[in-house]
């Protein structure tokens, strides 16, 4: 009996102790929760920096179209730069002028679609694409003394390869974005432009390798790399666009560049402005 | 137009998508056979091109068949084939190239119209991967037809859409 009474007393004591521990824990946790307020009560030297929350970055149809527009402006600017160098042969200049005009028309078309959707058009080049892809390519072509980069020994070929690479990048971007765009009508509008870019690339491939040899995929016997092809496969490729430009090294090689379609870190989000 | 949807698009083709994609498949089968005829009727560069482009249409047909499964068309669009293969008669290479360029442009226009209607992502993605190749093929064939005008290379005629009323499945 006594044992039983003692056991009950012990159990009650254990229960009260446990309850006390729980209350104490809750008080400590609550105090931790109020830590910010407590901390601000302490005197300190200087001012704490204010923080600004990052803007919301949702990938919407509008963002995808704005990014596509930014890529069009990359091409427009690149064609201006290419023409300004004054090294392209006369026969190529009308092609460059036509393609640049097409890209302006594409941007205008995208602007209308974006406005119709209630979005804000984006009518300037994609800073990140310029920095990552176009500026380094132009440096390899014209050279940069500060960086020790010599100008290319094949400027016309390299300029055409750069243009071909950018057109392929644009075509791949529209094709890729079809899988991300939610509205069927917008997908159709995007690929109407995308197929234009594919035609540009086909024309440039045949300017680089004239005649029948520039139509189907082939391998450069010197470098072992793929040559530009007007029709490179049975389906549009989403693989990185690669090409080699710049001064030919003693080993006979050039610098290989690789361009990827604009992804999450290269998009013209709705908070971005020109 | 954009951003109005609150639900994610379906992945698989819807019932309406399957009808459109199956129609596209019948056209691809017809293009395979038209190119087979052009390969026989042509020489040199155009023969090699016809063989290559025919193989691309076969690959497109195989992918569409894989996507559609039992809903896939099993044969070519007969009326489309009959009308257009009759124009591939082994005449001048430039004329054959011009005919084929017109067909490729019609395929591009048809697929673009279709893409603006398809709801399922898988079907839309596949059609989007076929369009740029057909556009490139059209550009090459325009060149082989003897035209150097960029207006011809870039021409995309909305009126050229292949209509199921004219060419029933």
The parent domain of residue B62 ranges over 16-160
CA angle (A75 as vertex; A74, A77 as ends), nearest 5: 65
User: Taking chain A, what is the end-to-end CA distance rounded to the nearest angstrom?
Assistant: 87
- Is A47 part of any domain? no
C-alpha distance from B59 to closest chain A C-alpha (Å)? 7
Report the chain B residue with the minimal C-alpha distance to residue A176. B125
CA distances from A162 to A169, A241, B147 (A): 10, 10, 25
Gap between the Cα atoms of B131 and B56, Å rounded: 11
- Confidence at residue A46, expressed as pLDDT on a 0 to 100 scale: 78
Whether A202 and chain B come into contact, CB under 8 Å, resolves to yes
- Confidence at residue A15, expressed as pLDDT on a 0 to 100 scale: 46
- Is A16 part of any domain? no
The parent domain of residue A197 ranges over 61-266
Alpha helices per DSSP H over chain B: 15-41, 44-68, 78-85, 93-115, 121-144, 150-154
Spatial contact of B121 and A177, defined as CB atoms under 8 Å apart: no
Q: Which of B2, B43, B44 to mutate to test the interface with A (most CBs of A within 10 A)?
A: B2
C-alpha distance from B83 to closest chain A C-alpha (Å)? 25
Report the chain B residue with the minimal C-alpha distance to residue A96. B150
Q: Which of B35, B104, B126, B128 to mutate to test the interface with A (most CBs of A within 10 A)?
A: B128
Cβ contacts of B52 on chain A, cutoff 8 Å: 215-216, 231
- Confidence at residue A8, expressed as pLDDT on a 0 to 100 scale: 47
Q: Report the predicted TM-score, pTM, of the whole model to 2 decimal places.
A: 0.86
- Is A135 part of any domain? yes
Do A189 and B156 lie within an 8 Å CB cutoff? Answer: no
Where is average pLDDT lowest: A171-175, A201-205, A238-242, B84-88? B84-88
Q: For chain B, what is the radius of gyration of the CA atoms?
A: 16
Cβ contacts of A201 on chain B, cutoff 8 Å: 136
- Is B167 part of any domain? no
Q: Which of A234, A239, A268 to mutate to test the interface with B (most CBs of B within 10 A)?
A: A234
- Is B1 part of any domain? no
Report the chain A residue with the minimal C-alpha distance to residue B108. A195
Number of domains chain B contains: 1
- Confidence at residue A14, expressed as pLDDT on a 0 to 100 scale: 52
Whether A210 and chain B come into contact, CB under 8 Å, resolves to no
Query: Domain holding B74: CATH number?
Result: 1.20.1260.10
Gap between the Cα atoms of A205 and A163, Å rounded: 10
C-alpha distance from A160 to closest chain B C-alpha (Å)? 17
C-alpha distance from B13 to closest chain A C-alpha (Å)? 13
Whether A187 and chain B come into contact, CB under 8 Å, resolves to yes
Residue in the block written with tokens 């055409």: A160
Buried b / exposed e along A233-256 (16+ C-beta atoms within 10 A): bbbbbeeebebbbbbeeeeeebbe
Do B118 and A216 lie within an 8 Å CB cutoff? Answer: no
Gap between the Cα atoms of B32 and A28, Å rounded: 77
- Is A99 part of any domain? yes
Gap between the Cα atoms of A205 and A111, Å rounded: 29
Do A215 and B49 lie within an 8 Å CB cutoff? Answer: yes
- Is A252 part of any domain? yes
- Choose among A182, A202, A235: nearest Cβ to B140: A202
- Is B74 part of any domain? yes
Gap between the Cα atoms of A42 and B163, Å rounded: 78
- Is B34 part of any domain? yes
- Is A232 part of any domain? yes
Cβ contacts of A181 on chain B, cutoff 8 Å: 2
Number of domains chain A contains: 1
- Is B7 part of any domain? no
* Residue range A103-157, pLDDT digits in tens: 999 999 999 999 999 999 999 999 999 999 999 999 999 999 999 999 999 999 9
Query: Domain holding A97: CATH number?
Result: 1.20.1260.10
Average pLDDT over chain A reads 87
ipTM for the predicted complex: 0.95
Q: Residue A17: pLDDT band by 50, 70, 90 thresholds?
A: low
- Is A56 part of any domain? no
pLDDT average, residue stretch A77-98: 94
pLDDT in tens, chain B (169 residues): 554 455 788 999 999 999 999 999 999 999 999 999 999 999 989 999 999 999 999 999 999 999 999 999 999 999 999 999 999 877 899 999 999 999 999 999 999 999 999 999 999 999 999 999 999 999 999 999 999 999 999 998 888 999 999 999 9
Q: Which of B61, B132, B145, B160 to mutate to test the interface with A (most CBs of A within 10 A)?
A: B132
* Residue range A24-61, pLDDT digits in tens: 554 444 444 444 444 556 666 777 788 888 788 899 99
């Amino acid at each position: 009996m006594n044992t039983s009474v003692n056991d009950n007393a012990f159990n009650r004591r254990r229960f009260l102790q446990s309850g006390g521990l729980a209350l104490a824990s809750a008080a400590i946790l609550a105090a931790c929760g109020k830590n910010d307020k407590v901390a601000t009560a302490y005197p300190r030297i200087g001012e704490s920096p204010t923080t600004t929350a990052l803007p919301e970055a949702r990938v919407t149809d509008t963002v995808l179209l704005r990014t596509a527009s930014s890529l069009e402006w990359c091409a427009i600017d690149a064609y201006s730069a290419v023409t300004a160098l004054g090294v392209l042969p006369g026969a190529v200049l009308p092609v460059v002028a036509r393609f640049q005009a097409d890209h302006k028309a594409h941007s205008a078309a995208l602007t209308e679609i974006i406005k119709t959707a209630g979005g804000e058009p984006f009518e300037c080049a994609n800073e990140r694409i310029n920095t990552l892809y176009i500026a380094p390519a132009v440096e390899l072509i014209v050279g940069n003394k500060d960086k020790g980069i010599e100008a290319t020994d094949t400027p016309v070929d390299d300029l055409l390869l750069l243009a071909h690479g950018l057109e392929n990048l644009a075509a791949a971007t529209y094709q890729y974005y079809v899988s991300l765009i939610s509205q069927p009508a917008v997908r159709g509008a995007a690929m109407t432009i995308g197929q234009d870019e594919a035609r540009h690339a086909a024309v440039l491939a045949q300017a680089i390798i004239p005649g029948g040899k520039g139509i189907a995929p082939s391998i450069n016997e010197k470098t072992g790399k793929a040559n530009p092809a007007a029709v490179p496969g049975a389906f549009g490729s989403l693989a990185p666009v690669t090409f080699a430009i710049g001064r030919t090294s003693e080993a006979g090689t050039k610098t290989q560049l690789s361009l990827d379609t604009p992804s999450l870190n290269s998009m013209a989000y709705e908070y971005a402005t020109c | 137009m954009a951003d109005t949807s609150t639900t994610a698009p379906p992945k698989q083709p819807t019932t309406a998508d399957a009808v459109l994609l199956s129609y596209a498949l019948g056209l691809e089968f017809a293009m395979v056979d038209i190119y087979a005829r052009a390969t026989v009727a042509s020489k040199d560069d155009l023969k090699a091109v016809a063989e290559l482009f025919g193989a691309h249409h076969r690959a497109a047909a195989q992918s569409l068949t894989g996507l559609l499964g039992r809903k896939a068309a099993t044969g070519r669009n007969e009326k489309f084939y009959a009308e257009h293969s009759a124009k591939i008669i082994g005449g001048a290479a430039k004329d054959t190239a011009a005919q084929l360029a017109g067909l490729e442009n019609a395929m591009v226009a048809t697929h673009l119209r279709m893409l603006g209607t398809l709801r399922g992502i898988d079907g839309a993605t596949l059609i989007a991967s076929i369009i740029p190749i057909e556009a490139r093929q059209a550009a090459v064939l325009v060149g082989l037809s003897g035209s150097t005008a960029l207006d011809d290379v870039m021409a995309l005629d909305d009126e050229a859409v292949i209509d199921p009323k004219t060419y029933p499945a």
